[in-house]
Amino acid sequence: MKFETPATTNPIDQLKVIGKPTRRIDGPLKTTGTAPYAYERHDVAANQAYGYVVGSAIAKGRIASMNLDAAKAAPGVLAIVTAANAGKLAKGDFNTAKLLGGPEIDHYHQAIALVVAESFEQARAAASLVRVEYTRGKGAYDLAAAMGTAIKPQASFGTEPDSGIGNFAAAFAEAPVQLDARYTTPDHSHAMMEPHASIAAWEGDKLTVWTSNQMIAWSVGDMAKTLGIPKENIRFDSPYIGGGFGGKLFNRADALLAVLGAKAAGRPVKVALTRPLMINNTTHRPATIQRVRLGATADGKLTAVGHESWSGDLPGGGPETAVGQTRLLYAGENRMTAMRLAVLDLPEGNAMRAPGEAPGLMALEIAVDEMAEKLAMDPVAFRVLNDTQVDPEKPSRPFSQRRLNECMETGAERFGWSKRNPKPGLTRDGRWLVGMGVAAAFRNNLNGPSAARVRLDKSGIVTVETDMTDIGTGTYTIIAQTAAEMMGVPLDKVVVKLGDSAFPVSAGSGGQWGANSSTAGVYAACVKLREAVAQKLGINAADAVFADSKVKAGRRSAPLGDAAADGELVAEDMMEYGDLAEKYQQSTFGAHFCEVGVDAMTGEIRVRRMLAVCAAGRILNPKSARSQVIGAMTMGAGAALMEELAVDKRFGFFVNHDLAGYEVPVHADIPHQEVIFLDETDPTTSPMKAKGVGELGICGVAAAVANAIYNATGVRVRDYPITLDKLLDKLPDIA
């Protein structure tokens, strides 16, 4: 099915199942510990051996020699895989550095060997016996120092590094009110709960990989390319994923090394990455240095909007696209944005929840707060005044829906924003300095082609099959809701099967495109199944009403299952998209409000309450959407207050590479959160009229926290995370 014109009324609009707060259909499996996660799939292949990854001890250079003798002789060892014995391996299209390094080393903890043994403990013990001599090379590890060498990168995923309209330089120079500030955001780790893990088994030349992966088709393709075998010979299965946040978009060392280990050992092999390897072996959100320049008239109209961002990556990598939102978020006739990319020899940078927008808004939305203060305007009113209903760089192109102002105003009302003292540092609650902050949330909506197969059996059970993944977001449930709505059956008559590459190719989970895209694919397949049912029952598809597990047409009514009385009915289709996303700018919007307390003596910062108001199209399942947003708000609070991969600029690695060192918020950090969804549909996105929401939730949060800290203390910190050491010398003197 091709989606080329805005959606009109369709069966989804009945909202009998869609749009209802619905518990996860996979919840009982998860709460009882019976959902099969990759490393625990003991039943899928007999005789599984254990692999343990050896990571490079240096960040850049060469392996001078590698002695495997002691490791090979260790108890239980079955095989050792290294670049020297693994055969020819290509690099996957989605990987910047090779997943199996050597003799050249590209980054710290790049995998250089896999030790396979009968038990995990034997594999780990033997791995410590692998003797490696290195020749250290000189690497670049300091973004600030490498800024001067940054170049204009190529366009990636259709995003040009530079953009502009009007005459920014002149307009900024002439603006009566100006802001010119520099901000920094650190490297971040996805730090999801489940580590990267895979089990691989060969049967002849057929390979099966049970893994934890967000994008099944991409990863099957990359595995085929890496090994030089047809992708038809490879099956991936990833039904349950314990978090990804972009860290599992691509194959990582666990998958490739399990595959190579299984080949070498002649039996199935399982591999999980340790916490340190998750941080230095896999990808992370790259640090940025950003410069924001804003010019406005005295009455608060933006006339010049400039945003530049510098980030680093390994050779062949890409920039953190931190200026993307600035091209679209506020009005202003003269604009410029630019991204520059330096070579850094740290582990490879890549996507993490709301790549680009998350760190970009961390800077832009402090800048907007600073500008509002210069203008002596309320930051909500300043944002509302500079709203735009068209793409500011291409004013002929409207937003499909844009209710940012309503998010702002609703949030201000609900949060009690009018009680905020615009003068910072004056509100006390005992020893606490108290402040409120606001920031806009913005994230583009993306759609991707997505296919599904639906089956109907004679008992009226509808089974959906697609290689779509559920990374903890609630995909199982919204897909079940979609099929139930389309086929007129209750939720418990729908079975959802995900994550198997044997199923039709979906959009996968990433970039908050999964919910709308994958359900639209299921919609398309269900339209076909409805036609097949009608034909089987001898009724006109246009007249058929699917409800209460029956098909009705005029005075005729038959149980749905009757259509499959003499055999299962199967339908498959893919939703594809025309040019509506070019004609209309499709984005999601929100407003984050935050209240913080700052201990006037110690500078300790504690969030007191948070509110998000989101406008993100039709909310398919308000319960799981809320979970997505409060989780994202928590992650945003982490980015504001504590998350930072500490770079050792001499040795070139992230030092705090475990969950003791890389702090993410705990319950005690997040006392109260509220989420409001504006009631809306966007008919330009798909027949579901939905958009993504899982990444919108993190966008702007950190800036709202930062602005609240400023309001509490009068101290403006432009370098994240905002820790007490950055406040201390500017807090009130102790009596």
Active site residues: 695
CB of 601 to another protein, least distance (A): 3
CB of 313 to another protein, least distance (A): 21
**Site map (CB under 8 A) of another protein, residues 199-228, x = contact:** ------------------------------
CB of 132 to another protein, least distance (A): 10
Q: Which of 319, 425, 603, 636 touches another protein (CB under 8 A)?
A: 603
Which is nearest to 113 in space by CA: 36, 124, 121?
124
Tokens 């579901």 belong to residue: 688
Is 599 near another protein (CB under 8 A)?
yes
CB of 401 to another protein, least distance (A): 37
Rule CB under 8 A: which of 617-646 touch another protein? 641-642, 646
Residues in contact with another protein, total (CB under 8 A)?
43
Structure tokens at 449: 């082609």
**Could you give the residue ranges of the DSSP H alpha helices within 166-303?**
168-174, 216-227, 253-265, 275-280
Task: Kindly report the three-state secondary structure assignment for every residue of 158-181.
Answer: CECCEEEECCHHHHHHHCCEEEEE
Is 142 near another protein (CB under 8 A)?
no
How far is residue 438's CA from residue 436's CA, in Å, rounded to a whole number? 7
Ramachandran quadrant class, 614 (left: phi over 0; alpha: psi -120 to 50; beta: rest): beta
Contact 219, 255 (CB under 8 A): yes
Tokens 């609240």 belong to residue: 708
Structure tokens at 316: 């062949």
Rule CB under 8 A: which of 344-373 touch another protein? none
What b/e sequence results for 487-517 when a residue is b if at least 16 CB atoms lie within 10 Å of its CB, and e otherwise?
bbbebebbbbbbbbbebbbbbbbbbbbbbbb
Query: What letter would DSSP give residue 308?
Result: E
Tokens 């203008």 belong to residue: 375
Q: Which is nearer to another protein, 58 or 594 (CB)?
A: 58
Q: Pick the piece of the chain touching another protein (CB under 8 A) from 165-173, 302-310, 379-387, 600-608.
A: 600-608
CB of 592 to another protein, least distance (A): 20
C-beta neighbour count of 431 within 10 angstroms: 12
**Could you give the residue ranges of the DSSP H alpha helices within 228-354?**
253-265, 275-280
Q: Which is nearer to another protein, 587 or 634 (CB)?
A: 634
Q: Which is nearer to another protein, 108 or 710 (CB)?
A: 108
Q: Pick the piece of the chain touching another protein (CB under 8 A) from 31-39, 41-49, 464-472, 667-675.
A: 667-675
Contact 633, 592 (CB under 8 A): yes
How far is residue 197's CA from residue 711's CA, in Å, rounded to a whole number? 44
**Site map (CB under 8 A) of another protein, residues 407-446, x = contact:** ------------------------x---------------
Structure tokens at 196: 């990267």
Tokens 């697609």 belong to residue: 466
Is 601 near another protein (CB under 8 A)?
yes
Is 656 near another protein (CB under 8 A)?
yes
Is 660 near another protein (CB under 8 A)?
yes
CA dihedral 140, 338, 359, 366 (to 10 degrees): 120
Q: Pick the piece of the chain touching another protein (CB under 8 A) from 185-193, 204-212, 333-341, 659-667.
A: 659-667
Task: Kindly report the three-state secondary structure assignment for every residue of 134-148.
Answer: EEECCCCCCHHHHHH
Is 735 near another protein (CB under 8 A)?
yes
Residue 626's SS3 state is: helix
Is 604 near another protein (CB under 8 A)?
yes
Q: Which of 343, 661, 680, 719 touches another protein (CB under 8 A)?
A: 661
Q: Which of 90, 602, 672, 730 touches another protein (CB under 8 A)?
A: 602
Q: Which is nearer to another protein, 98 or 657 (CB)?
A: 657
CB of 119 to another protein, least distance (A): 11
Structure tokens at 508: 């996968």
Q: Pick the piece of the chain touching another protein (CB under 8 A) from 5-13, 386-394, 516-524, 716-724.
A: 716-724
- Please report the DSSP string for 581-616 in residue order: HHHSB-EEEEEEEEEEEEETTT--EEEEEEEEEEE-
Is 70 near another protein (CB under 8 A)?
no
- Please report the DSSP string for 62-124 in residue order: EEEEEE-HHHHHSTTEEEEEETTTS---PPPTT-SS-SS--SEE-STT-EEEEEEESSHHHHH
Is 193 near another protein (CB under 8 A)?
no
Is 276 near another protein (CB under 8 A)?
yes
Is 606 near another protein (CB under 8 A)?
yes
Is 149 near another protein (CB under 8 A)?
no
Contact 475, 468 (CB under 8 A): yes
Q: Which is nearer to another protein, 515 or 637 (CB)?
A: 637
Is 705 near another protein (CB under 8 A)?
no
Rule CB under 8 A: which of 93-132 touch another protein? 121, 124-125, 128
CB of 300 to another protein, least distance (A): 36
Is 76 near another protein (CB under 8 A)?
no
What is the separation, in whole angstroms, between the first and last Cα of the chain? 71
Q: Which of 164, 651, 680, 714 touches another protein (CB under 8 A)?
A: 651
Q: Which of 419, 429, 668, 679 touches another protein (CB under 8 A)?
A: 668
How far is residue 727's CA from residue 735's CA, in Å, rounded to a whole number? 17
Q: Which of 142, 160, 387, 669 touches another protein (CB under 8 A)?
A: 669
CB of 107 to another protein, least distance (A): 13
CB of 645 to another protein, least distance (A): 10
CB of 638 to another protein, least distance (A): 8
Is 242 near another protein (CB under 8 A)?
no
Under 8 Å CB-to-CB from 31, ≥6 apart: which residues? none
Structure tokens at 711: 């309001």
CB of 67 to another protein, least distance (A): 17
Residues that bind another protein (CB under 8 A): 57-58, 75, 121, 124-125, 128, 276, 431, 599, 601-604, 606, 641-642, 646-648, 650-651, 655-658, 660-661, 663, 665-669, 721, 723-725, 728-729, 731, 734-735
